[in-house]
Structure 1
Amino acid sequence: MARPDKAAAVAELSEEFKSSQGAVLAEYRGLSVAQMQNLRRSLGQNARFRVVKNTLGKIAAKEAELDEEALELFEGPSAIAFVRGDVVEAAKGLRDFAKDNPPLVIKGGYIDGKTMGPEEITKLADLESREVLLAKLAGVLKSKQGQAAATFQALPTKLARLAQALHEKKSDEA
């Protein structure tokens, strides 16, 4: 029979998996307490970094209905960054921290129902933030509207010039 404290921990982890947009698993072996605190700060407000026991993590992942590939990530010392918000921001925080602190190794993650390897998490971190991408999209849409307006404005002007040229040609022939 499972101990009540472990059952509560599994239930809490399972709820974290279900309510998060993503979870990124990392190996933290060799990080000091101060480095772990810096890591938690670097992830921002949208992520929560937790050290978990692999057995409890696997059980919680099964309860949250994660696929088998995600369960395979629970090898060695595991910590999970549960992301509630922009996954790219958290992935960037982990990637940048791992560059400065080699003991942190990104194992992979589970984002929007898909298991991702460490390479995919790094690619995700290379993306620009959601706000920047939306701003770029808005800029493109605005420029297209400006081009369409210029085209529509040019049509009557060109029509008037054509009519003027036809009128002048008729005047010259007469």
Structure 2
Amino acid sequence: MSEAIIAKKAEIVKGISEQFHAATSAVVVNYRGLTVEQVTELRKELREAGVKMEVIKNTYLRRAADLNGYEDLDEVFTGPTAIAFSDDDAVAPARIMAKYADKFDALAIKGGIIEGKVATLDQILELSKLPDRDGMLSMLLSVLQAPVRNVAYAVKAVADSKNEEPAA
């Protein structure tokens, strides 16, 4: 093999390695059997969530994963493989891929990484059940407002009881 080809392949692996390094999560899937329309629909939803999905040769993925200390992922890089990277929302790739795996039998989640650690299929499915970032922020806001709301109700009840006329 010529040195130019080797250098080009090394550059590709380096780019994938940088994606692994920057990602808060990545989900590896087998997409064999999906129609063009199904893949287009999946990619559209992933793109809207800020997730980048790529089909990459397994040898490149193995080398890039090994460079980032994800040797345990090597076993999932077999057959037709697509990988979804997210730099911001750790839940989005898992949630969307799990949704489409339920919707289309041809899509199968193989594994991935979450916050710098290799994740099993079960861990990815657990993560997929969490709400998105906006949902979590809404839940947090609700929890933070509850004590203030309860104090307001108590103050209102005391004020209402003082305003009542005593029965004569």
Shorter-chain TM range is: 0.7 to 0.9
Which residue, 43, 50, 56 being the options, matches 1:52? 56
- Does the 8 Å contact 1:21/1:112 carry over to 2? yes
TM-score by length of 2: 0.80
- Show the counterpart of 2:109: 106
**Runs of 4+ with >3 A deviation:** 146-151
CA apart distance, 1:61: 0.9
Rounded to whole Å, the distance in 2 between the matches of 1:91 and 1:149 is 40
Question: Which whole-Å deviations, capped at 9, do the CAs of 1:113-143 have from their partners, x for residues lacking one?
Answer: 1211122211111111121122111111111
Q: Which runs of 5+ in 2 are unaligned?
A: 160-168
Larger radius of gyration: 1
Q: Which residue of 1 aligns with 2:30?
A: 27
Write out per-residue CA displacement over residues 89-115 of structure 1, whole angstroms, 9 at most, x where no aligned residue. 222211121222211100011010121
- Quote how far apart the aligned CAs of 1:150 are: 6.2
> Please, which of 74, 77, 81 is the counterpart of residue 71 of structure 1?
74
In structure 1, the partner of 2:127 is: 124
The aligned residue for residue 164 of structure 2 is none
Where 1:108 maps in the other structure, the secondary structure is: strand
Q: 1:140 aligns with which of 140, 143, 149?
A: 143
Question: Could you state the TM-score of these two structures normalised by the residue count of structure 1?
Answer: 0.78
Question: Does structure 1 residue 82 correspond to structure 2 residue 107?
Answer: no
> How far apart are the structure 1 equivalents of 2:69 and 2:37?
32
CA–CA separation in structure 1 for the residues paired with 2:35 and 2:79: 17
Which residue matches 1:62? 66
Give, in whole Å, the separation in 2 of the partners of 1:42 and 1:150. 42
Residues in 1 aligned to 2:150 and 2:10: alpha-carbon distance in whole angstroms: 61
> How far did residue 149 of structure 1 move?
6.0
| TM-align CA RMSD | 2.3
Aligned mate of 1:9, from 12, 37, 58: 12
Distance 1:33 1:67 in 2: 31
Gaps of 5+ in 1: 158-174
Q: What is the deviation of 1:47? A: 0.7
Identity among equivalent pairs (%):
34
- TM-superposed CA distance for 1:84, in Å, is 2.0
User: Secondary structure of the equivalent of 1:77?
Assistant: coil
Report Cα offsets for 1:27-53 as digits up to 9, x if no partner: 111223332222211213311111111
The offset of 1:148, in angstroms, is 4.7
Residue of structure 1 equivalent to 2:166:
none
- Number of matched pairs: 155
